[in-house]
Structure 1
């Protein structure tokens, strides 16, 4: 078997670059296509097979006259927009022949080991702000906005401790569900007229796998069946284990709950303020730099405006489709002008439109034996997810991105 020390430099570069893209949360259809382009630029015949937990790479350089297959067990990480931009720039230079593989190798490794763009305090504040904004979108009161921010901070602390202590990967979701629901109930007892279930959902919103669900449906739609099925199954299991922690607390300490599920009317002024703040918070969560904040805000605004206006006239499915279409077209156009990966804008811009909360609410309804409502919410989640995927695919046909990444 060929070792890394004896492996040709071009092949080692392709392997390392693919692993890094995998680690930064790049979808399978984008990773495989961009790596094919880079391989062609290096005159290496290649095939890449991606799943969320593994990467299979087959390489055959003409000069070597021998095929080599490499299998790597790599967990797909959270999206890191900053590193995707830097890595995408280097890969583009290699594909165009502007930089050789031996020149690019140390550059991509410096990108990989570079510290996160934002420290834990900034990241935690962004998560809390995002949770508070989501509570506004759900029609919560001022007390519920504050409570959602507090719960969001607690969940973020659990996430950071989980990563630092290197605990079993599947433990984060149920523990976060327990912490969020328990803290929401305890906080609700201190405020009059606060819905702890709304606060729990808002506080957990960043762990609800709406993005993974949409990416999985996109992969299935474009024919990447192994990656799509694996990611879809992982998203559903993640949602289920997250809700198990919530349901455990609801069953154990239900007498402590203060029943108030009526909610409040949506505060229009607060909604627009939250819409202005949420994209920046999501951009920080995905490690997008300040230079991308204005365009991310613009893309998010346009997507929500189109989605909500069309939803009122034609229904939620049409609204989701046209909202995703708008975000996709603007993101691809900006990516062509500035020569950056389109997913830099797509990821935070789409997050506000994602249907992950419907899956959570579906499980909550089923837990309360409201079977019909639970099935309806689950079906709505799938339909809206497919509508979003359709909008993104059509946007790629209308405004093809210059890069496939």
Structure 2
């Protein structure tokens, strides 16, 4: 292979890998995808991806040229629009529709483009997501409203973390602390008797690392042991930081304003849960930066995942119901990948957040520390573990029965 061609190929692969990592691709999918691209170029390759680093190892088939590159990365944030566009560039290159130079330039344009959704839209999405989760938790109408209002605080914290690396390290406990403190003030001055723990949990639900935990377990199941272990431990630490911040904020709030005496309010009718699914799936569009043309697929995927889980849980245990919901979601996401020629994770990630038991993990931790239940948390530890395993197994079975067209 010509040395200049090898240099051009390796530069493109390194840039592609760094971008896909930045947009939140799981390690096992990222590594498989890069291997496909390297094989197309006639290169022997090996990649090691973790949440905070990527190692590239490339060499020509005649082994005359070899290249190693290691780079430190920040954990990726989900950006489905950029992921979709990046995949389109790589697919066009592999199909011979554009040149390597044009593909390289297009990657630079994607990396520099501004988010499709502005700050106001994203702020409203965080408010809607928190309110929607409160609906799913059976909160009263006033609690849903307060949850949505405090959801704005989470987005403000995220904006602040983008301006300061020091604040980024403290994002979870600081945001949860002020959510707890403000919820106590609301319960004292404005709306006595509200369920403060549910409001706090709903307001920080986007920060609860349930999705990250599921991805980590999926990586472990695919024998990406380093990446999976790192992601799981990072998720656990995030959960601890969130709980500590909320616990400290509520404790200080009770000390300042007096302990709130919860008085159960009237929840929304049964249809409120389905309204919550719709609102949450729509709220995730700006948060995950989903392209407009993929929104119907993402919303339908959310209803399929939630609907199959709820329906099957009436006849089998919740663990088996979660397995069936994840299987249905995985199969639908892979069908989307075949029809739209896009990464299946665009649909899977969007809908999976409705199934992951991140909130139950938080509630179990709260019950263990405080001795009080947000809701019925009996046997929640084994239940959470079974649900996580069921979700991973459901996605694995879906990939076997309905194989995806793309590695991503």
TM (normalized to structure 1)? 0.94
CA distance, structure 2, for counterparts of residue 14 and residue 323 of structure 1: 35
TM-superposed deviation, 1:91: 1.4
1:359 to 358, 361, 369: 361
CA distance, structure 1, for counterparts of residue 266 and residue 390 of structure 2: 28
Match of 1:252 in 2: 252
Tell me if structure 2 keeps the 8 A contact 1:328–1:392: yes
Match of 1:95 in 2: 94
Match of 1:226 in 2: 226
Alignment of 1:206-355 (within 5 A): 206-255=206-255, 256-260=258-262, 262=264, 264-265=266-267, 267-355=269-357
Where do 5+ consecutive residues of structure 2 fail to align?
A: none
Tell me if structure 2 keeps the 8 A contact 1:174–1:242: yes
CA distance, structure 1, for counterparts of residue 371 and residue 210 of structure 2: 24
TM-superposed deviation, 1:345: 0.5
Tell me if structure 2 keeps the 8 A contact 1:184–1:196: yes
CA distance, structure 1, for counterparts of residue 274 and residue 386 of structure 2: 26
Moved more, 11-20 or 160-169: 160-169
Match of 2:47 in 1: 48
Match of 1:399 in 2: 402
Match of 1:182 in 2: 181
TM-superposed deviation, 1:261: 6.5
Where do 5+ consecutive residues of structure 1 fail to align?
A: none
TM-superposed deviation, 1:370: 6.3
TM-superposed deviation, 1:378: 2.9
Whether 1:151 and 2:153 are equivalent positions in the alignment is no
Alignment of 1:84-163 (within 5 A): 84-163=83-162
Q: Structure 1 375/169 Cα, relative in aligned 2: closer, same or farther at 3 Å?
A: farther
Query: How many residues of Structure 1 are paired with residues of Structure 2 in the alignment?
Result: 400
SS in 2 for 1:59: strand
SS in 2 for 1:167: helix
Moved more, 264-273 or 197-206: 264-273
CA distance, structure 1, for counterparts of residue 92 and residue 224 of structure 2: 27
TM-superposed deviation, 1:168: 4.5
Q: Deviations over 1:86-116 (max 9, x none)?
A: 0011112233344332221111111111111
CA distance, structure 2, for counterparts of residue 123 and residue 356 of structure 1: 22
Tell me if structure 2 keeps the 8 A contact 1:326–1:395: yes
TM-superposed deviation, 1:268: 1.4
TM-superposed deviation, 1:128: 0.6
CA distance, structure 1, for counterparts of residue 218 and residue 245 of structure 2: 29
1:390 to 390, 393, 402: 393
SS in 2 for 1:354: coil
CA distance, structure 1, for counterparts of residue 38 and residue 140 of structure 2: 54
Tell me if structure 1 keeps the 8 A contact 2:179–2:249: no
CA distance, structure 2, for counterparts of residue 261 and residue 33 of structure 1: 53
SS in 2 for 1:46: strand
TM-superposed deviation, 1:53: 0.4
TM-superposed deviation, 1:276: 1.8
TM (normalized to structure 2)? 0.93
